[in-house]
Amino acid sequence: MASKRFLVSFVAVVAFAAAVASVQAADPEEIRDFAPPPNGAAPNGDYFTFKGLRNLDVSTGAFANVTAVNVKGFPALSGLGVSNALLLYPPGSVNAPHTHPRGTETLFVIEGSLDVGLLDTTAPIPTLFTQTLQTGDIFVFPRGLVHFQINRGQKKAKAYASFSSTFPGTVSLPRTLFKTGISNDVLTKSFGVSDNIIQALVAA
Amino acid sequence: MASKRFLVSFVAVVAFAAAVASVQAADPEEIRDFAPPPNGAAPNGDYFTFKGLRNLDVSTGAFANVTAVNVKGFPALSGLGVSNALLLYPPGSVNAPHTHPRGTETLFVIEGSLDVGLLDTTAPIPTLFTQTLQTGDIFVFPRGLVHFQINRGQKKAKAYASFSSTFPGTVSLPRTLFKTGISNDVLTKSFGVSDNIIQALVAA
Amino acid sequence: MASKRFLVSFVAVVAFAAAVASVQAADPEEIRDFAPPPNGAAPNGDYFTFKGLRNLDVSTGAFANVTAVNVKGFPALSGLGVSNALLLYPPGSVNAPHTHPRGTETLFVIEGSLDVGLLDTTAPIPTLFTQTLQTGDIFVFPRGLVHFQINRGQKKAKAYASFSSTFPGTVSLPRTLFKTGISNDVLTKSFGVSDNIIQALVAA
Amino acid sequence: MASKRFLVSFVAVVAFAAAVASVQAADPEEIRDFAPPPNGAAPNGDYFTFKGLRNLDVSTGAFANVTAVNVKGFPALSGLGVSNALLLYPPGSVNAPHTHPRGTETLFVIEGSLDVGLLDTTAPIPTLFTQTLQTGDIFVFPRGLVHFQINRGQKKAKAYASFSSTFPGTVSLPRTLFKTGISNDVLTKSFGVSDNIIQALVAA
Amino acid sequence: MASKRFLVSFVAVVAFAAAVASVQAADPEEIRDFAPPPNGAAPNGDYFTFKGLRNLDVSTGAFANVTAVNVKGFPALSGLGVSNALLLYPPGSVNAPHTHPRGTETLFVIEGSLDVGLLDTTAPIPTLFTQTLQTGDIFVFPRGLVHFQINRGQKKAKAYASFSSTFPGTVSLPRTLFKTGISNDVLTKSFGVSDNIIQALVAA
Amino acid sequence: MASKRFLVSFVAVVAFAAAVASVQAADPEEIRDFAPPPNGAAPNGDYFTFKGLRNLDVSTGAFANVTAVNVKGFPALSGLGVSNALLLYPPGSVNAPHTHPRGTETLFVIEGSLDVGLLDTTAPIPTLFTQTLQTGDIFVFPRGLVHFQINRGQKKAKAYASFSSTFPGTVSLPRTLFKTGISNDVLTKSFGVSDNIIQALVAA
């Protein structure tokens, strides 16, 4: 069903709309050792620790399940220039083509095997780079470029991402292009297909 | 025809693949007044001038015609953090959804009228912002976010873009997603449509 | 009259003194998609649009008329690294020598013809680079260097500037040097002229 | 033996002295999609992949074994602002107090349990923050601050680090202070101890 | 006595713990001319002046006496990327090995003579660079690297430091390692010495 | 005589024109510990030391004598974000109004007394901030803003400058405006004075 297609793969981001005001505006280079806890409490070891990835596991589903560990959920990262995410890929699942507008990503395979792809901006036709990653391999997806992963294996895969920003953002291309109400004329002309095709994509 | 869909709208970028080696690696803040001419000649007034936009005009075509004025064609920009482009929109033409991975864009309408759209990264469904711009209006497309323009008027439109980078790059989404040979399984699963639909997009 | 010499060429900047508190302190790289509207309202298409340049025109006057489109009047630019300005040059008008301390400028001639000049920091005598720009030409003035324009034509000229900062600032040299009350001894010694000369400049 | 104390825990760094010339000078924000392969070959999927962490394991030893995955060994990272390392901790091993001068680190425990500590710059006495991390936990060590880890468990531990730089560097404090030939008078006066104590540290 | 060893050599930093909240979070490039006075008063000549170094002198003591002139005590520096410190070295005094996590330092000898040392991150053993500086000499200590000074002369020495940050921070290594309560097992294992040695360092 | 007015106050900069090619293009944040010596030699203590300020003194002259210590003469500064200068002011001398396009300056008075002035960018009339500095005082001149100094005392004064850049540049306003051949019409119109006045300034 179409609604399942809207499975929220980015758990931490779900709350973004409601909480945008609490995200720090910028990622300037921090001139204090670290930003103090937002609630005014004194920092302690827990402030520098993120414990939300313990015991996460998902073994079914059509899409990768992504838990971001960025400045929004881990305020100690503020101004420190790095963040992470844990990605769980049931067998057959895909992390649909997307970009991270504000950060480069390195992806480290912790378990299983993963097929990945990266597109550059060569014109007129971008170059596609692919790879089958084994456990222990790392792939780099430069800032702002389109990329995706798919788990073609029989077993689940697990990977851990590192970003060059405390809040890199994610532009999910299927949703951004076909679920946001862009006018039909823009879509038919841009993709060079008829209304039917666009309607299938919008209804998916 | 499908091939017409591949009309290169970014004239300066056409040569990118062949000339990538000549593009300066980075856009560090220049500590000299300016980078000297690459050929070793002494700089003069012409070095700081780009004359390539005189008399450009295109009044037919399905896509916007874009002439970039970036560090590749205007080396005096090196390290100086800004670049431009001229966009010509025949009536009915579209500048298909795309992003600029490394720069924010402001678009200034010089002639005619233009409908524009911008998508943010709100999850699960991004927000679409649209506007009908009159001559003299400016719209800002933040770094890395998806945007597009369409000229729904009877007359041609002309706009001038400013970027916060000397080489912001362009990720054209129709071409990047459907003309680069991404595997069918990735596409059908990501967009939630059948093979036929994907084939139509690839063949467009 | 001397007062006419003080014609405020930078319309948006006129209010700077009163509104400095409302300008964002810094231009850090925004880690959100964009800064939300300062008044707490939800953003819409209008938030990303600047409509203040419609129908601007000035055909007489001794000085260029400049309308800045920077973060102060266009808050959506916040953290996004680029801003603009529209410059209108009546015949015979000049944009007196000035610098932009915090940004590089590219100037695009939209109408008419313009003579421009740029000075570098070569010592002991800086090099002067000049150019006569036709409609469609672009000239780059690197960050912090002295430059000027003059319209020696019979018709008005119009140009559009792009800056590598959301608030580059402008240091107008005639006013900064001779209208601010710098002591006479500093001026006579620095410029190597007698009191009479300095008095003429101060009284201008 | 003292020589065992000099076990090189940073495998990739061992080659630094010989290869410093090949490290890119700076980590400017890349304005191309990515830096091309240094050998002039065309990039392919392998260029963006680092396969050197497959099958690494160390189960004995007094010190953590660290394999850095930075721009030196993974040139595709050039200009992209992020790098990684894999750390293997035999039971009882320590990663001696050190700093990363040019990057913040987040440390993700992949296996086992780890005790970590971080010191800030509070004066006169810095504050020590500690934590016992379980598998799945992440701890952040801000740029330039002293930190350490110790595996007090019976089983080996494994962790994966992310850095906000393509070459953050490591200042190992025991070696830097006591193995580099700093004069005795500097050390006795700085640490407020007698020659014997310093000699013990130097001979360790 | 041990307490004398805790002589606060960094006068301005003494108040850090109490005043951390008042330090500006980051050192973004200021887009205003300067940050206005924190108390809301109009700026005047005094706002841009720091008068706290007049008549400072110390001619006895085991440690260098350092007065920092950074954004905390000189708010006009906010966002401007530079700060300073005055260092007074009684004969025989030492400025114990330390790092500045967030800034490079240049040290200018104003009076007397000073022996200095700098350690890089070469592995396995860092390289020690030393110099005897005469009055008028400058030495550079790159960001984040360990360095120290000692006045082996009969007369006092005086030096003035410049930093590439408005708040570079100082990591004093003797205090950070041995006065903060790091567990004994971490210290004995890291330094490869017995408990007695560590106890001597802790008790110093 | 006019030619004496052209006294080169910036000694190190005199050689700029001939040596511009040797200045490093940019001041990116260095990702190595430091840039190695340009001649390929191994670094030693001397590489990190600048000895060119020993015994400098000037007690007569109309203008301040400035010796820059920047990356051009001190290559070890490369990528490290800070540089310095020594300024010697005979009695009655002036450091004519100028800007540093690429860096903020803090000025520390080492000897004597100095009157300083700073102009901001308030429109229409910038604000002038002045101060009489005593020995030991520091004044900050934000990046890109016009400033000057004058020694109104009977004794010479000496000051040491710190910059937030390894090569901040200097725009000397009397020379840039009146010694570079800017056309007469630009000058008379910009300053609002007659040809005679401009001629006096040009001939000075």
Q: What is the residue-wise DSSP string for A42-61?
A: PP-GGGGEE-TTTT------
Please check whether residue D149 is in contact with residue D159, taking contact to mean a CB–CB distance below 8 angstroms: yes
Q: Count CA atoms within 13 Å of residue F129 on its CB side.
A: 24
Which of B 23-62 lie inside 8 A of F, CB atoms?
Answer: 26, 28-33, 35-36
Our CA-based measurement puts residue D71 at a distance from the nearest CA of chain B, in whole angstroms, of 15
Q: What's at F83, amino acid-wise?
A: S
Q: Which of A28, A35, A78 sits opposite E27 (nearest CB)?
A: A28
Q: Residues of C annotated in the binding site for Mn(2+), as ranges? A: 98, 100, 105, 147
Q: What are the per-10-residue average pLDDT scores of chain E (204 residues)?
A: 41 34 48 93 96 92 97 96 98 98 97 98 97 98 98 97 97 98 98 98 98
Spacing of C-alpha F128 from chain mean position: 19
Q: What's at E128, amino acid-wise?
A: L
Our CA-based measurement puts residue F18 at a distance from the nearest CA of chain E, in whole angstroms, of 25
pLDDT number for residue F19: 33
In chain B, which residues have their Cβ closer than 8 Å to the Cβ of F26?
A: 26, 28-31, 79
Q: Count CA atoms within 13 Å of residue E11 on its CB side.
A: 16
Three-state DSSP class for A17?
Answer: helix
Tokens, residue D6: 């000099």
Q: Which residue, A108, A72, A116, A93, is CA-closest to A7? A: A93
pLDDT number for residue A28: 60
CB within 8 Å: B191 and A178: yes
Q: Which residue, A6, A168, A176, A102, is CA-closest to B146? A: A176
F81 touching chain E per CB within 8 A: yes
Three-state DSSP class for F104?
Answer: coil
Decide if pLDDT at C45 tops 80: yes
Q: What is the pLDDT of residues D3-47, one digit of tens each?
A: 444 444 433 333 333 333 333 344 567 889 999 999 999 999 999
C73 touching chain F per CB within 8 A: no
Helix (H) or strand (E) segment spanning residue A189: helix A184-191
In chain C, which residues have their Cβ closer than 8 Å to the Cβ of A143?
A: none
pLDDT number for residue B7: 40
Longest CA pairwise span in chain B (Å): 60
CB within 8 Å: F138 and E69: yes
Q: How many CB atoms lie within 10 A of CB A130?
A: 17
Q: Which of F28, F33, F36 sits opposite D26 (nearest CB)?
A: F28
Query: How long, in residues, is chain B?
Result: 204
Decide if pLDDT at A194 tops 90: yes
pLDDT number for residue C28: 60
Place of tokens 């014109």: A123
Q: Which of C28, C33, C36 sits opposite A26 (nearest CB)?
A: C28
CB within 8 Å: E137 and F50: yes
User: From C173, which residue of chain F is nearest by alpha-carbon distance?
Assistant: F173
For helices A184-191 and A195-203, angle between their N-to-C axes, nearest 10 degrees: 110
pLDDT number for residue A29: 72
> In the predicted model, what is the mean pLDDT of chain D?
89
What is the percentage of chain C residues whose pLDDT exceeds 70? 86
Complex ipTM value: 0.88
pLDDT number for residue A68: 97
In chain B, which residues have their Cβ closer than 8 Å to the Cβ of A197?
A: 197, 200-201
Q: What is the rounded average pLDDT of the residues C31-59?
A: 94
Tokens, residue C106: 């590219």
Our CA-based measurement puts residue E154 at a distance from the nearest CA of chain C, in whole angstroms, of 43
| R_g of chain E, CA atoms, integer Å | 18
Three-state DSSP class for E136?
Answer: coil
What b-and-e string marks burial along A8-44, b requiring 16 or more CB atoms within 10 Å of the CB?
Answer: ebbbbbeebeeeeeebbbbbbbbbbbbbbeeeeeebe
Q: Could you give phi then psi for residue D195, rounded to 5 degrees?
A: -55, -40
User: From F168, which residue of chain B is nearest by alpha-carbon distance?
Assistant: B31
Decide if pLDDT at D179 tops 70: yes
Bridge partners, residue F160, by sequence: F86, F108
Going along F134-173, which residue ranges are E strands?
138-141, 147-150, 157-163, 171-172
Q: Which residue, F118, F151, F119, is CA-closest to F133? A: F151
Helix (H) or strand (E) segment spanning residue D33: none
Q: What's at F169, amino acid-wise?
A: G
Place of tokens 């490039």: E29
Q: What is the rounded distance in angstroms from the CA atom of residue B133 to the CA atom of residue B114?
A: 5
F148 touching chain B per CB within 8 A: no
Task: Give the CA angle between residues E151, E155, E160 to the nearest 5°.
Answer: 60
Q: What does each of the 204 residues of chain F score in pLDDT, given as a tens digit?
A: 334 444 444 333 333 333 333 343 445 677 899 999 999 999 999 999 999 999 899 889 999 999 999 999 999 999 999 999 999 999 999 999 999 999 999 999 999 999 999 999 999 999 999 999 999 999 999 999 999 999 999 999 999 999 999 999 999 999 999 999 999 999 999 999 999 999 999 999
Its sign, for the CA torsion C93, C97, C99, C104, is positive
D167 touching chain F per CB within 8 A: yes
Q: What's at F190, amino acid-wise?
A: S
Q: Going by C-beta distance under 8 Å and a sequence separation of 6 or more, which residues neighbour residue B145?
A: A101, A171, B99, B118, B119, B120, B121, C33
Q: How many CB pairs under 8 A join B and F?
A: 34
CB within 8 Å: C24 and E31: yes
What is the percentage of chain F residues whose pLDDT exceeds 70? 86
CB within 8 Å: D31 and B165: yes
Most B CBs within 10 A among D29, D32, D44, D77, hence the mutation to make, goes to: D32
Please check whether residue E63 is in contact with residue E9, taking contact to mean a CB–CB distance below 8 angstroms: yes
Place of tokens 């924000």: D29
Please check whether residue B54 is in contact with residue C137, taking contact to mean a CB–CB distance below 8 angstroms: yes
Q: Which residue, C45, C42, C56, C48, is CA-closest to C12? A: C56
Decide if pLDDT at D66 tops 60: yes
Please check whether residue F66 is in contact with residue F11, taking contact to mean a CB–CB distance below 8 angstroms: yes
DSSP string, C69-113: ESTTT-GGGTTS--EEEEEEE-TT-EEEEEE-TT--EEEEEEES-
Our CA-based measurement puts residue F155 at a distance from the nearest CA of chain B, in whole angstroms, of 36
Q: How confident is the model at residue D110 (pLDDT cuts 50, 70, 90)?
A: very high
Our CA-based measurement puts residue A180 at a distance from the nearest CA of chain E, in whole angstroms, of 35
Place of tokens 């009479």: C196
User: From D167, which residue of chain F is nearest by alpha-carbon distance?
Assistant: F31
Q: Is B105 annotated as a binding residue?
A: yes
pTM for the full model? 0.90
Low-confidence residues of chain B: pLDDT under 70: 1-28
DSSP string, F173-201: HHHHHHSS---HHHHHHHHT--HHHHHHH
Q: What is the rounded distance in angstroms from the CA atom of residue A105 to the CA atom of residue D143?
A: 19
Q: What is the rounded distance in angstroms from the CA atom of residue D64 to the CA atom of residue D52?
A: 18
pLDDT number for residue D27: 56
Q: Residues of E annotated in the binding site for oxalate, as ranges? A: 95, 100, 105
pLDDT number for residue C30: 79
Going along C31-190, which residue ranges are E strands?
49-50, 65-69, 83-89, 94-99, 105-111, 114-119, 128-133, 138-141, 147-150, 157-163, 171-172
Q: What's at E106, amino acid-wise?
A: T
Q: Which residue, C151, F178, F104, D56, is CA-closest to E162? A: F104
Q: Which of C93, C180, C204 sits opposite F125 (nearest CB)?
A: C180
Its sign, for the CA torsion A9, A14, A17, A19, is negative
Q: What is the rounded average pLDDT of the residues C127-132?
A: 98
Q: Going by C-beta distance under 8 Å and a sequence separation of 6 or more, which residues neighbour residue D3?
A: none
E127 touching chain D per CB within 8 A: yes
Three-state DSSP class for A108?
Answer: strand
Q: How many CB atoms lie within 10 A of CB A146?
A: 25
Q: Which of D28, D35, D78 sits opposite B27 (nearest CB)?
A: D28
